[in-house]
Structure 1
Amino acid sequence: MTTAPLSGSRAQLEDAATQWAALAPRLAARGRVRLSPDGGRNYPRRGERRITAQLPSQPAAVLLYDDNGCAPCLVLDLDTSSGGHDAVERDFRSLSGLLSRSGAVWFSDSSPSLGRHVYVPLAEPLPLADARALVSRLALLHPTLDPLPLASIASGCVRPPGAWHRSGGHQLLDQPLEAAVATFARPTTPRALAALGDLLPPAPAPHVDQDADALPDRLTPLRGYNEPDQDFQHIARTGDGWQDRYATPSEARQAVLWACVASGWALVDVVRRLEDGTWSGLASLYARYAPTQRRRSVLRDWNNALRHERQRREQPRKESVRVRPTSALKSQRGQAPGTVNQQVREWLTAVDLLLAPGTDLALRATLYALAEAAVLTDSLTVEHGNRSLAIALGVDQRTVGRALKQLLAEPADRALIDLVEPAAGTRANVYQLTIPPLLQPACAAKPWRRGRIHAVRPVFRELGLSAAFVYAALEQAETARGGRDIAASARLGVTATYEALQVLSTHGLATRTPAGWVLGDASLTQLAEAWGIVEEIRAQIARYREERRAWWAWLNRRAPLSLVRDESSPATPPPELGWIPEPPPDDDDESALEILERILGGHVIEQRTA
Structure 2
Amino acid sequence: MASLCLDLDTSKALQGVVDDDAQRLGNLLESCGVRYVADVSPSGGRHLYIPLAERVSGLEARELVEAMTLLAPSLDPSPHQNVTDGCIRVPGSAHKSGGHQILTTPLATAYDILRRRNPAGAVAALRLALAPEVRRARELKGRAAKMVATATAHGISPVPFGGSQSPLRVLARTGLYDTAKYASPSEARMAVLNHFAACGWTLDQVRLELGGQFPGLAALYANTDRQERLIDKEWAEACRWIQKRGTPPTGKRTTRINDTSPPKPTGGASRPSSKAGTHQLVNDLENVLYAVLDHRLKEHGREGLSLRLLLRAVLGYMRTMETDLLDVGCRTFATAMGKHHGTVARLLRTLEQASDGILTKVSDARGRNADAYVIQLPRHFEQLARELSWRSGKIHGIRPVFRALGDAAALVYESIERGRLSPTTAGIVRSTGLSRTAVESALGVMCSYNMIERRHGQWAITAATSLTALARRLGALDDAAEQIRRHRLQRAAWHAWLDRNLVPELAEHEVEDGESDLYWIPPSESELDWGGTLWRVA
TM over 0.5: yes
- Quote how far apart the aligned CAs of 1:531 are: 5.0
The sequence identity of aligned pairs, in percent, is 21
Aligned to 2:316: 372
Q: 1:540 to 1:267 in 2, by over 3 A?
A: closer
In the alignment, is residue 510 of structure 1 matched against residue 443 of structure 2? Answer: no
Q: 1:589 to 1:242 in 2, by over 3 A?
A: same
Pairing 1:439-478 to 2, within 5 Å after superposition: 439-478=381-420
- Quote how far apart the aligned CAs of 1:330 are: 6.5
Q: 1:437 to 1:310 in 2, by over 3 A?
A: closer
Q: 1:447 to 1:63 in 2, by over 3 A?
A: farther
Match of 1:549, as an amino acid? A
Aligned to 1:303: 225
Whole-Å separation in 2 of the counterparts to 1:512 and 1:423: 47
325, 328, 343: which one aligns with 1:384: 328
Stretches of structure 2 that go unaligned for 5 or more consecutive residues are 7-27, 33-53, 94-102, 106-131, 140-144, 146-165, 244-248, 254-260, 264-274
- Quote how far apart the aligned CAs of 1:451 are: 0.9
Pairing 1:200-349 to 2, within 5 Å after superposition: 239=173, 242=176, 244=178, 264=203, 269=208, 274=211, 278-279=212-213, 282=215, 301-307=223-229, 321-323=241-243, 324=249, 326-327=251-252, 338-349=279-290
Match of 1:348, as an amino acid? L
Bigger helix fraction: 2
Aligned to 1:545: 488
Q: 1:440 to 1:311 in 2, by over 3 A?
A: closer
Whole-Å separation in 2 of the counterparts to 1:580 and 1:502: 31
Whole-Å separation in 1 of the counterparts to 2:239 and 2:332: 35
Q: 1:437 to 1:340 in 2, by over 3 A?
A: closer
CA RMSD of aligned residues (A): 5.6
TM-score, structure 2 normalization: 0.55
Whole-Å separation in 2 of the counterparts to 1:487 and 1:406: 25
Q: Which whole-Å deviations, capped at 9, do the CAs of 1:370-425 have from their partners, x for residues lacking one?
A: 11111122222211121111011111101112212222344x8x454221112223
For these two proteins, the number of residue pairs brought into alignment is 387
In the alignment, is residue 584 of structure 1 matched against residue 519 of structure 2? Answer: no
Q: Which whole-Å deviations, capped at 9, do the CAs of 1:84-127 have from their partners, x for residues lacking one?
A: xxxxxxxx5x548x8899999xxxxxxxxxxxxxxxxxx999xx
Match of 2:419, as an amino acid? A
Match of 1:510, as an amino acid? I
Q: Is the Cα contact below 8 Å between 1:234 and 1:532 reproduced in 2?
A: no
Whole-Å separation in 2 of the counterparts to 1:267 and 1:342: 35
- Quote how far apart the aligned CAs of 1:442 are: 2.5
In the alignment, is residue 400 of structure 1 matched against residue 333 of structure 2? Answer: no
Q: 1:483 to 1:554 in 2, by over 3 A?
A: same
TM-score, structure 1 normalization: 0.50
Whole-Å separation in 2 of the counterparts to 1:62 and 1:376: 42
Q: Which whole-Å deviations, capped at 9, do the CAs of 1:232-273 have from their partners, x for residues lacking one?
A: 66655xx458354699xx979x959x969x975599946xx8
Whole-Å separation in 2 of the counterparts to 1:498 and 1:318: 49
Q: Which whole-Å deviations, capped at 9, do the CAs of 1:332-390 have from their partners, x for residues lacking one?
A: xxx96743333442443443242237452222221111111111222222111211110
Q: Is the Cα contact below 8 Å between 2:425 and 2:439 reproduced in 1?
A: yes
In the alignment, is residue 417 of structure 1 matched against residue 350 of structure 2? Answer: no
Match of 1:63, as an amino acid? L
Secondary structure, counterpart of 1:487 in structure 2: helix
Secondary structure, counterpart of 2:389 in structure 1: coil
In the alignment, is residue 575 of structure 1 matched against residue 519 of structure 2? Answer: no
Pairing 1:31-46 to 2, within 5 Å after superposition: none
Stretches of structure 1 that go unaligned for 5 or more consecutive residues are 1-18, 32-52, 79-91, 105-122, 126-151, 160-165, 167-229, 287-297, 563-569, 595-603, 605-610
Match of 1:447, as an amino acid? S
Q: 1:539 to 1:73 in 2, by over 3 A?
A: closer
Whole-Å separation in 1 of the counterparts to 2:206 and 2:498: 50
Whole-Å separation in 2 of the counterparts to 1:393 and 1:422: 22
In the alignment, is residue 482 of structure 1 matched against residue 424 of structure 2? Answer: yes
- Quote how far apart the aligned CAs of 1:467 are: 1.7
Aligned to 1:355: 297
Whole-Å separation in 1 of the counterparts to 2:352 and 2:384: 22
Q: Is the Cα contact below 8 Å between 1:549 and 1:573 reproduced in 2?
A: no
